[in-house]
Structure 1
């Protein structure tokens, strides 16, 4: 296939090589062009605009930081919408608000283009290994068309119907749970540390029994060792996602009191200079408060 890929942060840069290895022609665009150099060496073609990456593409992926970035690469004369051919499919893998996802679905349909929301769960290492989990929603024919590509970058795809907003909500709810677990682990580890208990031994005990899951094992190890770099999921993006969760909840009239707490905690972390650390740096607040 002819593929466009827009957004070469830690996740996008890890996904593209899997598409190239499979023999697909991939045009890439990134706001900072130098981040594409390693991919160009592997066979990707660097373009000057998002529209150029989308032009002649069967499928164009976006993996960008937030709503503003996705709007910037999609709309306007140099954007995806104006340049993607009829029948082409835009696959949004970004974590963005439900209102924008709904708008994208409507406008791509009006342009006779497909649109699939396919946010992912997994860190850059999982992306590089083709082991992401994908929550996907869109028209059945569009999902069928991109299924072979999803197979190259994920270990499993979970379908949530034909409304792309559903996948966006799944991603936001999932990230809300991830941030919640991070805060929970941070508070528990602060308690153990203050009490002189071996945190690694505690983590091994809990993840071998009641909490045997990747999120507790992986995030727990980083929190127990207070290791917040390299960054897999920046705290500032976690703060953005909790804001999107709150906006979605407001739109559906659903109270989320825990989201209010997490929003305050992340705002404090960012204000204290930790926004560019890994999300697990949220645990620093509990440790500092326990001193």
Structure 2
């Protein structure tokens, strides 16, 4: 199997890199904090000291980093020249569609194809390859990247066409809908509490019938258990970054999104309180606090 470059071994990137190694791929890994990538050496990965060192001529580099600036920081001429003509950079980060379009043009100027391939999965789902992927960009490059997404985290990959920004838009829509669902459930459960209805009974009925989906089932249980602190799976700071991107995209296209403004405000409040690295689930605490619970 070919050697795959992988940049970014955080909470989500790490299990994806592990799965690629288990699938038999040779993997070169770079992480800004080198120590976080070192355990992958025990599984056969080669840990390198710069983004460009992960690249093979004409090969594929996958990246999963925090935000637009982080993607721009790794997508240097050094990396693109190392990939060379026919090389592919598959960006799995949640970033602005405009940033992806600018990166695609930068890559094309040096003969490299840029593909957008965001991840829908929490770390445990990625590890179990139970996540979902979305992908957009040139057709031939997508066909090379899709098997890596399936080997790394995805039970299914959804193709959003050739516009590289399209998969970014879908990722932002998806994250907005998850955040809105958390707000919806928090409001509904506190309404149940304050009207002498057992919220767990409401949860069991609703999440096994009308709202039978992993988002409502999994996040609903965590909201009932007030799991707003502790080790975050997805940090509130990243959730706030995503809601900023949602509203930025909405404003540019003159799309009113009052619910997006609400969850943005909830996440801003979470961050303003200075909690140490809370999970974005903490946005649901606002509905309970507003209701005196």
TM-score, normalized by length of structure 1? 0.95
Gaps of 5+ in 2: none
Deviation of 1:247 after TM superposition, in Å, equals 0.9
Deviation of 1:55 after TM superposition, in Å, equals 4.2
Q: Deviations over 1:72-123 (max 9, x none)?
A: 111254xx32422211110010000111100111111121111110101111
The corresponding residue for 1:255 is: 256
The corresponding residue for 2:160 is: 160
The corresponding residue for 2:101 is: 102
The corresponding residue for 2:221 is: 221
Does structure 2 conserve the Cα–Cα contact (< 8 Å) formed by 1:57 and 1:85?
yes
Whole-angstrom CA distance in 1 between matches of 2:95 and 2:84:
24
Q: Give the 5 Å matches for 1:120-131.
A: 120-131=119-130
Deviation of 1:253 after TM superposition, in Å, equals 2.0
Deviation of 1:221 after TM superposition, in Å, equals 0.7
Rate the CA distance shift 1:222–1:65 in 2: closer, same or farther, 3 A: same
Whole-angstrom CA distance in 2 between matches of 1:30 and 1:210:
42
Whole-angstrom CA distance in 1 between matches of 2:77 and 2:237:
27
The corresponding residue for 1:179 is: 179
Q: Deviations over 1:32-53 (max 9, x none)?
A: 1110122111111111011111
Whole-angstrom CA distance in 1 between matches of 2:195 and 2:31:
48
Deviation of 1:143 after TM superposition, in Å, equals 0.9
Helix, strand or coil at the partner of 2:19: helix
Deviates more, 1:220-229 or 1:187-196: 187-196
Q: Deviations over 1:182-202 (max 9, x none)?
A: 111122222223334322221
The corresponding residue for 2:202 is: 202
Deviation of 1:57 after TM superposition, in Å, equals 6.6
Deviates more, 1:191-200 or 1:249-258: 191-200
Deviation of 1:132 after TM superposition, in Å, equals 1.5
Gaps of 5+ in 1: none
Deviation of 1:208 after TM superposition, in Å, equals 1.3
Helix, strand or coil at the partner of 2:14: helix
Q: Deviations over 1:199-256 (max 9, x none)?
A: 2221111011111111100110110101133322211111100100111112222222
1:132 pairs with 2:139: no
Whole-angstrom CA distance in 2 between matches of 1:204 and 1:97:
37
Does structure 2 conserve the Cα–Cα contact (< 8 Å) formed by 1:67 and 1:96?
yes
Equivalent pairs, count: 289
CA RMSD of aligned residues (A): 1.5
Whole-angstrom CA distance in 2 between matches of 1:285 and 1:268:
8
Q: Give the 5 Å matches for 1:114-125.
A: 114-125=113-124
Deviates more, 1:80-89 or 1:265-274: 80-89
Does structure 2 conserve the Cα–Cα contact (< 8 Å) formed by 1:8 and 1:30?
yes
Whole-angstrom CA distance in 2 between matches of 1:57 and 1:81:
10
Whole-angstrom CA distance in 2 between matches of 1:237 and 1:281:
12
Does structure 1 conserve the Cα–Cα contact (< 8 Å) formed by 2:131 and 2:156?
yes
